[in-house]
Amino acid sequence: MAEANFDPATLSPLQLVGDCYIPALFIVAKDDNFILPSHTEKLFAQYMGDKQKILCEGDHNSVRPR
């Protein structure tokens, strides 16, 4: 934390994502109970740059298709 000069626990992706403009790919597993698909939906909706979303079958630790 001292090296980064901020506390990562204070970051809020939902507050910052609206300022992002570089192309982004959001990949979310339909049955993920660690990072909920609804969280990804909120990030995707607020993202300002070019974006694409892929919804995968499985959960957080499932193997993703190529």
Contact predicate 21/49, CB 8 Å: yes
pTM reported for the whole predicted model: 0.77
pLDDT tens by residue, 24-52: 999 999 999 999 999 999 999 999 999 99
H, E, C per residue of the chain? CCCCCCCHHHCCHHHHHHHCCCCEEEEEECCCCCCCHHHHHHHHHHCCCCEEEEEECCCCCCCCCC
pLDDT band at 1 (very low <50, low <70, confident <90, very high): low
Give yes or no for a contact between 52 and 35, defined as CB atoms under 8 angstroms apart. no
**What pLDDT was estimated at residue 3?**
78
With pLDDT > 90 as the criterion, what percentage of the chain qualifies? 64
